[in-house]
Amino acid sequence: MRRPLTQLSTIIFYEDRNFQGRHYECSSNCTDLQAYFSRCNSIRVESGCWVLYEKPSYMGYQYILTRGEYPEYQRWMGFNDNIRSCRPRSDIYKMKIYERPDFGGQVMEFMDDCPSVYDRFRYRDIHSCNVMDGYWTMYEQPNYRGRQYFMRPGEYRRFSDWGASSSTVGSFRCIRDF
């Protein structure tokens, strides 16, 4: 069951710099913003945290914006004035880890930080993972130490899919602030 966002996230896109020109206010996922504006040169994030994408359907360069004003696209480190899809970052975190590749073997679901994978899962090696909600950081050692791996929502069929050279995972935690 999905929990509702604690507050409605709101973002306003403007075609011109300094919050001028045609604008569009958004408070939910939008796979294609092109119908609402042709370019985006400034943004106001009224509330929440947003992930913006250069292309429709959540593709292309990504930008993570928190509450504030961005009077020109260089302020959010944009490469150009193209923003074509967006979604609010949720406060929901859910991930399943598996002892074998391709989602095989023992499985355990997590919705919060885990300082010691072995203490909770009884395995040191994690061969696959499914991040259903939220963004996570995995660490090679317990207590959030060692090499780190950024995990965004998606399926990771083997540890090399998240960039690791070994299946050893000692701890992981939710990324709550960008």
| 120 vs 39: CA distance, rounded Å | 48
Tell me the residue range of the domain where 22 lies. Answer: 10-89
The model's pLDDT over 43-52, given as tens digits with 9 standing for 90+, comes to 999 987 888 9
The model's pLDDT over 26-76, given as tens digits with 9 standing for 90+, comes to 998 999 999 999 999 999 999 878 889 999 998 888 888 888 999 999 998
The model's pLDDT over 114-150, given as tens digits with 9 standing for 90+, comes to 999 999 998 889 999 999 888 899 999 999 999 999 9
- Which carries the bigger pLDDT value, residue 176 or residue 91? 176
- Which carries the bigger pLDDT value, residue 2 or residue 95? 95
| 56 and 85 together in one domain | yes
158-162 average pLDDT score:
96
| 98 and 71 together in one domain | no
Residue 25 lies in a domain: yes
DSSP letter for 75, please: G
**CATH number of the domain that 17 lies in?**
2.60.20.10
The residue from 36, 63, 89 where one domain ends is: 89
| 51 and 19 together in one domain | yes
| 137 and 169 together in one domain | yes
Residue 4 lies in a domain: no
pTM greater than 0.75 (yes/no) = no
Q: In the chain, how many domains are there?
A: 2
| 174 vs 128: CA distance, rounded Å | 18
| 58 and 120 together in one domain | no
Residue 3 lies in a domain: no
What are the φ and ψ backbone dihedral angles of 111, each rounded to 5 degrees? -130, 10
Residue 61 lies in a domain: yes
The residue from 38, 57, 89 where one domain ends is: 89
The residue from 89, 119, 154 where one domain ends is: 89
Of 58, 43, 55, 54, the residue nearest 9 (C-alpha)? 43
Mean pLDDT taken over the chain: 90
Q: Are 41 and 81 in contact (CB under 8 A)?
A: yes
| 56 vs 158: CA distance, rounded Å | 28
